Amino acid sequence: MFEFLKEGKILNERGQEGRWSAENGRLIIRDDKGQEGLAYAYQISGSTLILTSDGQSVKLITQEAARKADPEKFERGAKEYERKAKEKANEKAKLKAAEEKFVAELIAAEKSAKAAGFIALAPGLMNWSDAKAYCASKGGRLPLIRRTDNNREIIDGIGSYLGPWPSALPKCDYIADYDVLFHFWSGTEADGYNEKMPDVLIFYERGDIQISDDRETGTNAVVCVP
């Protein structure tokens, strides 16, 4: 059940924020990364917004109507909303600072990366399409990931899965010593579940070389190989 609808943002009782827009007679709710999630037919009746999807309806009332209906509940909800907003702002600030630090490390490692045989190390993060174009402009390409006959995964120019991380490349930062913040693009597509946005294999350092995947619209570091 959604409690707030304001200035294009929506927040549910779990504090999860998304954005909404009216498109082709439907109210589209997206998550904070812009991915479409819920789509509702909608109707406005006085101060009430009625959302309908698959035969189920949700009623939303304006903040002013909610305040008049139950002032104490409204104030509790408003305080919780502000608390969640501050938490999210603090988290964004931490992530921004971490990204700026990592980008500075990428820039500082440019010479050592070239000395180690890499064609280029991009001075920033970019999506997969831009990463491919960047490497092409430098006369290189993104590293490909292949599986050998004995079932080992090799990243050309980088190393093998669970092997040592190249000393010429910056190590990836962590949250709580586990979650990895930054990754490097490969040039290899994975078997994505959305044909319009295929997954792409990425690699990163977590003590050794790890392999995962990401949407091509994500932003990751770029190292180019011959």
What was the pLDDT predicted at 163?
A: 94
Which of 206, 1, 224 lies closest to 123 in space, CA to CA?
Answer: 224
In this prediction the pTM is 0.68
What was the pLDDT predicted at 16?
A: 46
Residue pLDDT, tens place only, 142-174: 999 998 877 789 999 999 999 999 999 998 877
Residue pLDDT, tens place only, 121-137: 999 999 999 999 999 99
Quickly tell me which residue has 């080992």 as its tokens: 152
What was the pLDDT predicted at 6?
A: 42
Q: How far apart are CA 124 and CA 35, in angstroms?
A: 23
- Which residue ranges form the domains of the chain, and what is each CATH number? 2-69 (2.40.128), 110-224 (3.10.100)
